[in-house]
Amino acid sequence: MIDDIFAASSAAFIQYKNIPASTKADFLEKIAEILEANRPTIVPLAVEESNLPEGRINGELGRTTGQVKLFASMVRDGSWLEATIDPGDSHREPLPKADIRRMLIPVGPVVVFGASNFPLAFSTAGGDTISALAAGCPVIYKGHPAHPKTSKLVAECINQAVVESKLPDGVFIHVEGGIEVGQALVKHPAAKAVAFTGSFAGGKALYDLAANRDEPIPVYAEMGSVNPVFTFPEKLENELVPLAQSYVSSLTLGAGQFCTNPGLIFVPKAFEIPFEAAVADAIKDLAGSPMLHPGIAKAYYESISYYQTRNELKWIKVAGPQHEIHGSPAIASISAADWLSDDAFQQEVFGAFALMVVYDSPNELMEVAKKLHGQLTITLWGDIAELKLHAALINLLEEKCGRLLFHGVPTGVEVGYAMQHGGPYPSTTDSRTTSVGSGAIKRFARPIAFQDMPQELLPDALKNENPLKIVRQVNGKFTVEKIK
């Protein structure tokens, strides 16, 4: 079965990688259109399977189709190809200069593992699938067992777009099955890249598997993080209560089931008591809300139980009794000295749990920053004057994350051209890439240089005439002009 899947995918690749950009963009837009037309069926199904509220799922579908349209417009625009031309010079002395033209081309069939916490935007027609399709790669999608019916329905929408666009069947293949099936997909010699969103254990296992193939392939695994928030005295002096409230709102949003959930907050000793009180006040009446599935709720309460065995913690709010599906928010405090003593305090708890770490001095904060694991995001809540005094800290924190925020909270990831959703290991397996935003397409393309290739044979993106009218770098300068 796996061989048949890859035979279809590889055959489709030969055709799909060569279709005009406008046909590919039309295909992507058709996916968005069909998803939108099926909103009345998709939304209730996703709500039923994920326990997420209807408003959230409706918004997520909008985010999904918005994402598809973003990639369609990029494909039309063509500048993502990074067409770069160093024209030749046969008269150069002492040796003639070769004509070299480089651009990005798709890598081949991509295996995508969707996330449980975004049944639409990070799943079947999510950012990984769509950025791979936009790059010109067929996708083999391994459905997530937490929302099988939604996954199948969305796959049918994509397949309908494939048929209506007269593309080969193998452009998108939806596969159901467990861990063995997922591993067989990653191991298959025809797979050229893997995209994954989920647990550290899953992402790392697939990364190792791909690295140990006869032909190693890249695995872009987004495995989440604890997204620390650093707070500073002047800012707290002026805005303590609203900051505590916005922290609690971000922490408990969606039962804390976000990879950007801020599970760690550093608070100066002088503000320990008032900040703790403000957080306790903001969180006290928040009841548990349903988690994605019983397995996630069980994992959440197991993590809480572990932390309850640690004497270093003082509980600001304890979780309610273990529940089969509801995740009750919890927060505990710990001194920075204790936090520094054990890496266990850096582990992600998937759900609305946070550690408030109380620090004594800027020096201690530097020690924290040195020890901190790689993160998707780090947030700094400080006034400009005090942040200027922490230039060395900020410099160090740049090395630890993919997105550094100076206002607001890390939950709520914009889908745009400048977004970076991917940080140093262990938050992802490749911090040079992003899984959200237009940059995600680069994961599924590789550069190729054509040397002295005749004009008639060159891809349109590199021809002198610039028939696609795309922005290119010619002799080092960005231009849409043709080459004379």
Contact residue for ligand NAP among 68, 259, 401, 440 (CB under 6 A): 259
Q: Does 199 bind ligand NAP (CB under 6 A)?
A: yes
Measured from the CB atom, the residue of 115 and 445 that comes closer to ligand NAP is 115
For the question of residue 259 being annotated catalytic, the response is yes
Tell the smallest beta-carbon distance from residue 105 to ligand NAP (Å): 28
Which range, of 114-122, 274-282, 402-410, 448-456, touches ligand NAP by CB under 6 A?
Answer: 114-122
**Position among 85, 112, 205, 248 found at the interface with ligand NAP (CB under 6 A):** 205
Q: Specify the stretch interacting with ligand NAP by CB under 6 A; choose among 193-201, 241-249, 309-317, 456-464.
A: 193-201
Closest separation in Å from C-beta 408 to ligand NAP: 19
Name which of 117 and 433 has its Cβ closer to ligand NAP.
Answer: 117
Is 206 among the residues that bind ligand NAP (CB under 6 A)?
yes
- Check residue 212 for interaction with ligand NAP (CB under 6 A): no
222 binds ligand NAP (CB under 6 A): yes
Q: Looking at 119, 224, 262, 424, which residue binds ligand NAP (CB under 6 A)? A: 224
Shortest Cβ 418–ligand NAP spacing (Å): 21
Interface of this chain with ligand NAP, residues 337 to 396, rule: CB under 6 A: 350
Give yes or no for residue 111 binding ligand NAP (CB under 6 A).
Answer: no
Q: Which of 14, 37, 163, 179 binds ligand NAP (CB under 6 A)?
A: 179
Q: Which listed range, 6-14, 70-78, 151-159, 192-200, lies at the site for ligand NAP (CB under 6 A)?
A: 192-200
Long-range contacts of 267-274 (CB under 8 A, 24+ apart): 267/231, 267/236, 267/356, 267/357, 267/358, 267/359, 268/231, 268/232, 268/233, 268/236, 268/358, 268/359, 269/358, 269/359, 269/360, 270/233, 271/231, 271/233, 271/236, 271/240, 272/333, 272/358, 274/236, 274/240
Smallest separation (angstroms) from ligand NAP to the CB of 223: 5
Least separation, in Å, of the C-beta of 179 and ligand NAP? 4
Residue 268 interacts with ligand NAP (CB under 6 A): yes or no: no
Residue 55 phi, psi dihedral angles, 5° rounding: -60, -45
The reply on whether position 145 binds ligand NAP by CB under 6 A is: yes
Q: Binders of ligand NAP: how many residues, by CB under 6 A?
A: 24
- 108 backbone φψ class: left, alpha, beta (φ>0; ψ -120 to 50): left
Options 78-86, 137-145, 409-417, 460-468: segment touching ligand NAP (CB under 6 A): 137-145
Span near ligand NAP by CB under 6 A; candidates 50-58, 108-116, 235-243, 330-338: 108-116
Smallest separation (angstroms) from ligand NAP to the CB of 338: 24
Contact 28, 77 (CB under 8 A): no
For ligand NAP, the binding residue among 126, 127, 170, 198 (CB under 6 A) is: 198
157 carries an active-site annotation: no
- Closer residue to ligand NAP, CB minimum distance, 179 or 211: 179
Q: Which residues on adjacent β-strands are paired with residue 266?
A: 230, 357
Q: Which is nearer to ligand NAP, 84 or 151 (CB)?
A: 151
142 binds ligand NAP (CB under 6 A): yes
Q: Which of 29, 259, 276, 348 is catalytic?
A: 259
Q: Could you give the CA distance from residue 308 to residue 380 in angstroms, rounded to a whole number? A: 28
- Select the residue interacting with ligand NAP from 113, 232, 301, 339 (CB under 6 A): 113
Active site positions, annotated: 222, 259
| Interface ranges with ligand NAP (CB under 6 A) | 113, 115-117, 142, 144-145, 178-179, 182-183, 197-199, 202, 205-206, 222-224, 259, 296, 299, 350
